Amino acid sequence: MKRFSQSIRLFIYTAFIAAALPLSSAAQWKAISYKQEFTDTAYDIRTDTGFHEKKDFVFPEYSWYENINSLSGAVECMLPASEPAWHKSFDKDIDLMRNSSAVSLRIYTENIRQYTYFLYSAHARKWLSKVVALPFDGYQIPTTEKFSTWSDSGAPPAGTASSPGSSDIPPATTDNSGDQLSIRVTPADTSLPWKFVIGDLLIGHYQRIAYPVTHPFFSNLNAPTEATPGIIAASYHHPLHSDYFEKIPSGMDTYGLSASIDILPDESHRDSASDRLLLRRIIASSLKYYPFYKERKLDRSLIAKDIDGIFASPRTGSYCSLVDSLDEFIRHTFDDHHFYLDYPGDPCRPAPAGKQRSPVRIVTLNGKYLIGAVFDTAYNRIHIDDLVIAIDGVPVQQAVDREAVRLYGSTHLSDYEKYAITSSLLDRGRNDSCRLRTRGATTSAVSGTVIRYDKKYSIPDNFRPVHAEYRRYGDIAYFRINYWEEAVYLRFINHWDDIRNVRKIIIDLRGNLGGEMTAAMQLFAVFIHQPKDYYWNIDQEGQPIAVRILPDKYFSYPSSGKVVILGDQSTACASESFIKAMQNSGSAIYVGAGKTAGTFASKFDISLPSGVIVHVNSLLDKAYYQPGLYELEGKGIAPDLLVKIDRVEDLRPYNDKILREAIKILSADKTGLAENRQKE
């Protein structure tokens, strides 16, 4: 999925609103979005005249909307490991012991295993410490550490100004009148040189700040009378960051949107009637602004009547039954992974009985149910690629259909729901068993096996795709992205020298359901050399308005380099936007076993006072891609090279036929590497 974290588009909506219940309670609500911010900066290394920027060391942006400084210079520390890499004595107590007091740090490292903070509070007359482990070298994910979570260290670190060369001076004897902060590093290999480069360091009070959300979506929350159905047009705009977007539509207004929005009552009194009223008005706005009626072939007027019927039905008299009925209707009517209801903790239904993972896993391939994995050697009659005939004496398709009805009722199933049924079909309780009948892939012999659940099975490491994994296949670079988040860009450029030198790279987005679209845009900027249109919105006159991305200021993939992107039916949303933008810019080809998911929308999580969360994609409009204003929603992206998968052995982690084909495209001999060649 693609979650919205920064205002990045121009949006227009024309839709209807379903009738809301008459006002039955005095409750009033407001929509709030929260952000973590430094509200009182006590120290900023950028303004400290005792430190000087290294202009020759580039510090790239962590994300396009970070709170800490964005200057490219750095302070480089090359001190012996026995001394602090950085130390600062303040000439007064800056009140660092409040619950909100924190330090933010952005660094680049080489050969560093961990670093340790040491803080002396003059007010509390004690030293505190915090150890931070580093999972990799290079540009690190910026961290913000609140001092309230640190441990008493008992003594100042060796080498600080208050304790030159000594670590046994009791904190109570220090004569410093102000606070101190030290950072000491631990090299991974003490025989090798190390680097600890500071990009930004802030000390202050880090607090959760509430901002009102004034988006038209929420304008009907406190309507004094029953809303009038009809066609209502609304337009609203969001600011674009000029440092990264070349083309910005005019007339921008800020509405305070973020991925998570809370609805808060203005007064403490709430009752079941006010909860139902609020839920109805949120659902009404979700229907009013829903952008994909045409793509999903839905009749909005009929849906409005069905929603009215759910609220009026005697079967939804309780709030729990109402939430369940709405969620079931919305999930199966819209078949949209970005539009559904959730009730954390599941207070409406009893907790489901715990199930054990099956040691045998089933996958669907070309309409057949095949053995995809066997995690217990005791089941030696079952092999990869064997055809599943029956489960507990029931033909497998019939067993799947029964499970579908049990879980979802007699409705159309989305691809994701079909996958969920197949993947959990054999999971049972600890004391259960299951009879599995299969036909051998090579022998055609039919055999029966009883599966038991008296052991716990976890998915082996080689079956789990590693997020942001980088490796080499000869002269070809490989980078896998499981989900789009701010650190993707940093993890990518940490291998920059290698990537730009090989000039051949495979970007693996298989199974990547999306995430932060700004993260996908940020990586896209690395592969372009002049401003490029990422996608288009449609204005009120029906004219396309391009969102144009500028090339990365510091990292530019060679124009002669080649890029192959891997995807599958689970590649969705922000991943699809990246693939399409790369295709349109002529920067890459897409290789896969089929079309991508075709679900490109921004997901917002709206939390109600009752605990219900309404997940919607109704706050932003549709994005289009040239040529022909191509929509991704409901269509997906067809591969430039379609790889036909005929057997389980062709899938990861067995023989990975799709990866082999990508390697052939980029390899001189076109046969792939030995470890990826077709097994005999």
DSSP string, 128-165: EEEEEE-SSSEEPPPEEEEGGGPEE-SSPPTTBTTBTT
pLDDT, greater one: 549 or 614: 614
7 pLDDT band, cuts 50/70/90, is very low
**3-state class of 460 per DSSP?**
coil
Lowest-confidence pick of 78-87, 194-203, 449-458: 78-87
Q: How many CB atoms lie within 10 A of CB 85?
A: 25
Report whether pLDDT(134) > 90: yes
Lowest mean pLDDT among 172-176, 232-236, 624-628: 232-236
pLDDT of residue 665 exceeding 80, the answer is yes
Distance separating alpha carbons of residues 635 and 597, to the nearest angstrom: 8
Higher per-residue confidence, 521 vs 541: 521
**Statement: residue 286 has pLDDT above 70:** yes
pLDDT tops 90 at residue 537? no
Taking residues 391-408, report their average pLDDT: 87
CB 386 within 8 A of CB 440: yes
In this prediction, residue 499 has a pLDDT band, given cuts at 50, 70 and 90, of: very high
pLDDT value for 415: 67
User: 427 in helix, strand or coil?
Assistant: coil
Quick check: 87 and 118 in contact, CB under 8 A?
no
Computed over its alpha carbons, how large is the radius of gyration of the chain? 28
Residues 256-266, buried b or exposed e (16+ Cβ, 10 A)? bbbeebbbebe
pLDDT score, position 496: 95
Mean pLDDT to the nearest integer, 118-125: 82
Q: What is the DSSP string of 355-403?
A: -BPPSEEEEEETTEEEEEEE--TT-TT--TTPEEEEETTEEHHHHHHHH
41: number of Cβ within 10 Å: 12
Query: What pLDDT is attached to residue 336?
Result: 84
Residue 510 neighbours by CB distance under 10 Å: 23
Tell which residue, 371, 362, 374, 365, has the closest CA to residue 400.
Answer: 362
For the chain, what percent of residues have pLDDT higher than 70? 78
Instruction: Check residue 354 and give its pLDDT.
Output: 72
pTM reported for the whole predicted model: 0.83
pLDDT at 462 over 60: yes
With H, G, I as helix, E, B as strand and everything else as coil, classify residue 174: coil
Lowest mean pLDDT among 256-260, 538-542, 602-606, 651-655: 538-542
Query: Could you give the C-alpha distances from 166 to 150, 155, 169, in angstroms and in order?
Result: 22, 10, 7
Give the residue-averaged pLDDT of 517-540.
85
Pairing of strands 630-631, 624-625: antiparallel
**Which has more pLDDT, 9 or 73?**
73
Q: Reply yes or no on whether the pLDDT at 356 is more than 50.
A: yes
pLDDT in the model for residue 230:
30
What is the distance between the alpha carbons of residues 489 and 585, in angstroms, rounded to a whole number?
19
| Sequence-ordered list of residues with C-beta below 8 angstroms from that of 464, at least 6 positions apart, any chain | none
Per DSSP (E only), the strands in 509-655 are: 515-516, 532-538, 544-549, 562-567, 589-592, 602-607, 613-616, 624-625, 630-631, 641-642
pLDDT 10s digits, 644-664? 998 998 988 888 999 999 999
pLDDT at residue 178, as a whole number: 74
Is 503 exposed, middle or buried (CB count within 10 Å of its CB: 0-12, 13-18, 19+)? middle
Predicted confidence (pLDDT) at residue 397 exceeds the cutoff of 70:
yes
Between strands 387-391 and 75-77, the pairing is unpaired
pLDDT at 70: 53
- φ, ψ (nearest 5 deg) of residue 665: -60, -40
255-264 pLDDT per residue, tens: 667 789 999 9
pLDDT reported for residue 579: 95
The DSSP output letter for 337 is T
Q: What is the dihedral of CA 616, 617, 620, 625, to 10 degrees?
A: 180
Percent of the chain with pLDDT over 90: 34
Given a cut of 60, whether residue 233 has pLDDT beyond it is no
Contact 438, 389 (CB under 8 A): yes
Q: Specify the pLDDT at position 633.
A: 81
* Number of residues in the chain: 680
Q: Provide the pLDDT for residue 157.
A: 64
Residue range 23-34, pLDDT digits in tens: 344 568 999 988
> Tokens for 241?
């960051």
Q: Is 42 exposed, middle or buried (0-12, 13-18, 19+ CB in 10 A)?
A: middle
In 3D space, the residue among 445, 611, 471, 521 whose CA is nearest the CA of residue 241 turns out to be 521
- Distance between CA 159 and CA 183 in Å, rounded? 11
Contacts with 286 (C-beta within 8 Å, 6 or more apart), sequence order: 339, 614, 616, 618
The dihedral built from the CA positions of residue 82, 87, 91 and 92, taken in this order, carries a sign that is negative
Q: What pLDDT shows up at residue 167?
A: 40
**pLDDT at residue number 174:** 47
pLDDT at 110: 92
**What mean pLDDT, rounded, does the chain reach?**
80
Res 95: pLDDT = 65
Task: Tokens for 625, please give them.
Answer: 């891609």
Lookup: tokens for 591 = 């290789």
> Comparing C-alpha atoms, which of 182, 179, 160 is closest to residue 93?
179
> What average pLDDT does range 116-127 have in this prediction?
84
- Please tell me the distance from the alpha carbon of residue 369 to that of residue 371, in angstroms, as a whole number: 7
Measured between alpha carbons, how far is 309 from 338 in angstroms, rounded to an integer? 23
pLDDT tens per residue, range 404-430: 887 776 666 766 677 778 888 888 888
Instruction: Give the pLDDT confidence score for residue 527 in this predicted structure.
Output: 95
Compute the average pLDDT of residues 3-9: 35
